[in-house]
Amino acid sequence: MTGGVSADLYRTVTDGVADVPHWAAFLGEAATEAGLVVLGLLLLWTGRRGLRRTDPRLVAGVLLTGAATVAAYGLSESLKLVVDQERPCRAVPGADALAACPPPGDWSFPSNHATLAVALATGLVWLWPRAAAAVVTAGAATAALRVVIGVHYPHDVLAGAALGAAVTAAAMLVALPAVTSLVAARFPLRGRPPRQRPGSARRAGTGSS
């Protein structure tokens, strides 16, 4: 694939960053990996928060998000084998990618990084809505940087993002209530008892007399 809107946009992006310093190119490539690590750590922190708060819904949501992310990755890999789309850094004439181009046979469509990042981000937004802006920004940046460093077309990233979001959202919609009930029934959570406000025990004792 060397023509069309996606290829033209790829050329525009890669041409625009072709003259960045070597250290900036290195940081861009490292950031695509760091974004996945940050989102994964946020998911683990959310699970720990659910355990501490004895919140079976949070724990169930973290388990489902992890399972959905793995499933989305498997689907992404399967699609790569079916589509067999060459990487743009190899297929587009004159392409000047910041990152080293993956070897032949490491297909481009869809982007695994985008799939994983958006699958994790979707689950985190579902469970932690107040952090939605930060989480969505991290997921989108991780995905978009795959185009910036030159290893994916824009449509690879969009397809991966759509796949990751769809699988995680479907898992949450279909299975979250059932998994929450299972976690609550089969794995009683022991956490810190709820904190009482000063004087609440005294008022409770007064009320019972």
Q: Which domains does the chain carry?
A: 9-203 (1.20.144)
pLDDT at position 188 is 66
Instruction: For residue 130, count other CB atoms closer than 10 A to its CB.
Output: 8
- How far apart, in Å, are the Cα atoms of 130 and each of 37, 125, 126, 153? 20, 8, 10, 32
b/e sequence 176-197, b meaning 16+ C-beta within 10 Å: beebbeebbeeeeeeeeeeeee
The model's pLDDT over 166-207, given as tens digits with 9 standing for 90+, comes to: 999 999 999 999 999 998 887 665 544 444 455 544 444 444
1 pLDDT band, cuts 50/70/90, is low
pLDDT at position 187 is 67
The model's pLDDT over 25-71, given as tens digits with 9 standing for 90+, comes to: 888 889 999 999 999 999 999 999 988 888 899 999 999 999 999 99
Tell me the torsion sign for CA atoms 20, 144, 157, 16.
negative
> Which amino acid appears at position 135 of this protein?
V
Question: Which among 168, 55, 33, 41 has a CA at the least distance from the CA of 112?
Answer: 33
Please give the share of the chain, as a percent, with pLDDT higher than 70. Answer: 88
Contact 116, 73 (CB under 8 A): yes
Contact 7, 1 (CB under 8 A): yes
> Which amino acid appears at position 68 of this protein?
A
The model's pLDDT over 147-161, given as tens digits with 9 standing for 90+, comes to: 999 999 999 999 999
Q: How many residues does the chain have?
A: 209
pLDDT tops 70 at residue 14: yes
